[in-house]
Amino acid sequence: MPANLAALLYLTSAVLFILALRGLSNPESARLGNVFGIIGMAVAILTTVLGARTAAYGEMALAIAAGGAAGLVIAFRIKMAAMPQLVAAFHSLVGLAAVLVAAAAFYHPAAYGIVDALGQIRTPSRVEMSLGVVIGAVTFTGSIVAFTRLQGIISGDPVVFRGQHALNVVIGAIIVLLLGTFVHTPSTDVFWVVTLLALVLGVTLVAPIGGADMPVVISMLNSYSGWAAAGIGFTLENSALIVTGALVGSSGAILSYIMCRAMNRSFLSVILGGFGGEAAAQAVRAADRAVTAGSAEDAAFILKNASSVIIVPGYGMAVAQAQHAVRDMAEALKRRGVHVAYAIHPVAGRMPGHMNVLLAEANVPYDEVFALEQIDSEFQATDVAYVIGANDITNPAARDDPSSPIYGMPILDVDRAKTVLFVKRSLAPGYAGIDNGLFYKPNTMMLFGDAKKMTEEIVKAL
């Protein structure tokens, strides 16, 4: 295939990828967008394979078929609640692939057309290759740590030890120094030592970040996987890869920014980690304050007599798999003429948009589901706020108490509703480790129990 034709086809596939992302501005156009993405990928793969002039079609097809079959099985079996860990696992694969491709290019640079007249790898290619391998390796192990934490294989608590940040800085500095020598004289030893150090750095960077900060971590790794792909794209002089890497890199960066803004924390403070580890003690002294507890029947009575209800889901709903029960409750209320809406905080759940997917899975129409800024002003005209599995994102201290560690974080103003029904197992504090004053307000009724069971009992009582 002529090089110009191949370059034009790669350009086509890059444009199709842009259209795939553009489609996501609206749920209706998103399905078509995904099809554009699939076509773009097919164009890129066919262009490469047909341009390769090779006898190895069988082996390539076998590798694609084996991986593809595994991918399809995973995609159709995975539970929606497990989506964060699936995305983390997928990011790790992109990172590992970037490392492997960089290594392949290092061992056999002639195949990639990146050698100079003396048969040495060209200097710009050395830089691009080493950036690709470092970012890829960090993405790989960082995503594995994120995956094991989300899957519950390791605890959600941050792993913090003395000298942690110093260690990261030292590893980072050694990597930079070694990259300098690699660009000067590309040696196999230096290549693998750098790769190894970057793999370690991925672990030490993500380990101190706790469970509820995972939305930021996943977005950040998403971004890294894009930058790694772009680095490899420069090595291959491939526009599809460069454009895609840039798109994915900026997408992940924007999501990280949105998540940080929704927690009123700086990106740096999140990735330095260790948040929420020690403050749980102060909640104990507050525990003897009076709360109003109610039963499912009490809650059903209040809901029945309301004219408007806003449901506020959080990670607890995902853990309890309560989304179907919540929808049943909403349908029962709608049949009685109650107006029902859902309010989603940007960091509810373990990844951006996690709650929206779970509600969609339970057949909740997306036009009943609203983002924080769309619905927040409506709480004061609402009879009942039904909080299920959320905590910190409803804590009025973030709005009213300048001494609170979460002060300034945008919250859903559920306390402005006439009545708050708060489904929770106990009065234990949320991730931030701080007490929620909402529990003790006279207009709050605590519904102690499992999110799913409690909601099902309310449905029965309605």
Partner 1 sequence: MQGAVDPLVFQLSIFVLAVFVGYYVVWSVTPALHTPLMSVTNAISSVIIVGALIAAAPAAMTQSKILGLVATALVAVNIFGGFAVTQRMLVMFRKRKP
In the complex, the smallest distance separating the C-beta of residue 451 from partner 1, rounded to whole angstroms, is 20
List all residues 6 or more positions away from 238 whose beta carbon is below 8 Å from its beta carbon: 10
344 binds partner 1 (CB under 8 A): yes
Separation CA 330–CA 115 (nearest Å): 64
In the complex, the smallest distance separating the C-beta of residue 126 from partner 1, rounded to whole angstroms, is 12
For partner 1, give the closer residue by CB, 74 or 169: 74
Residues of span 273-332 touching partner 1 by CB under 8 A: none
What's the burial of 2, exposed, middle or buried (CB within 10 Å: 0-12/13-18/19+)?
exposed
In the complex, the smallest distance separating the C-beta of residue 79 from partner 1, rounded to whole angstroms, is 11
Q: Which of 244, 308, 323, 455 contacts partner 1 by CB under 8 A?
A: 244
The whole-angstrom distance between residue 163's C-alpha and the CA centroid of its chain comes to 28
Q: Which of 132, 131, 119 is nearest to 179 (CA)?
A: 131
Residue 148 half-sphere exposure toward CB, CA atoms < 13 A: 14
Separation CA 147–CA 396 (nearest Å): 32
Our answer to whether residue 392 is catalytic in this structure is yes
333 binds partner 1 (CB under 8 A): no
DSSP one-letter code for 115: B
Mark the segment that binds partner 1 (CB under 8 A) among 148-156, 198-206, 228-236, 313-321.
Answer: 228-236
Q: Which of 249, 276, 314, 430 contacts partner 1 by CB under 8 A?
A: 249
Residues of span 14-43 touching partner 1 by CB under 8 A: 14, 17-18, 20-22, 24-28, 30-31, 33-34, 37-38, 40-41
Task: Provide the terminal-to-terminal Cα distance of the chain, rounded to the nearest Å.
Answer: 68
SS3 276: coil
Mark the segment that binds partner 1 (CB under 8 A) among 67-75, 203-211, 412-420, 443-451.
Answer: 67-75
141 binds partner 1 (CB under 8 A): no
408 binds partner 1 (CB under 8 A): no
List all residues 6 or more positions away from 295 whose beta carbon is below 8 Å from its beta carbon: 447
Mark the segment that binds partner 1 (CB under 8 A) among 243-251, 418-426, 437-445, 448-456.
Answer: 243-251
78 binds partner 1 (CB under 8 A): yes
Strands (E), 101-253: none
The contact pattern for partner 1, residues 363-402, with x = CB under 8 A and - = no contact, is x-xxxxx-x-------------------------------
Name the amino acid, one letter, at 297: E
For partner 1, give the closer residue by CB, 21 or 279: 21
Separation CA 282–CA 289 (nearest Å): 13
User: Which helix H or strand E contains 10, and what residues bound it?
Assistant: helix 3-22
Separation CA 412–CA 345 (nearest Å): 7
Residues of span 90-119 touching partner 1 by CB under 8 A: 90-91, 93-94, 96-98, 100-101, 103-105, 107-108, 111-112
Separation CA 84–CA 151 (nearest Å): 9
For partner 1, give the closer residue by CB, 55 or 153: 55
Catalytic residue chosen out of the listed positions 392, 413, 415, 435 = 392
199 binds partner 1 (CB under 8 A): no
Separation CA 200–CA 210 (nearest Å): 18
For partner 1, give the closer residue by CB, 16 or 306: 16
In the complex, the smallest distance separating the C-beta of residue 352 from partner 1, rounded to whole angstroms, is 4
In the complex, the smallest distance separating the C-beta of residue 96 from partner 1, rounded to whole angstroms, is 6
What's the burial of 110, exposed, middle or buried (CB within 10 Å: 0-12/13-18/19+)?
exposed
Mark the segment that binds partner 1 (CB under 8 A) among 86-94, 289-297, 320-328, 398-406.
Answer: 86-94
Q: Catalytic residues, which ones? A: 392
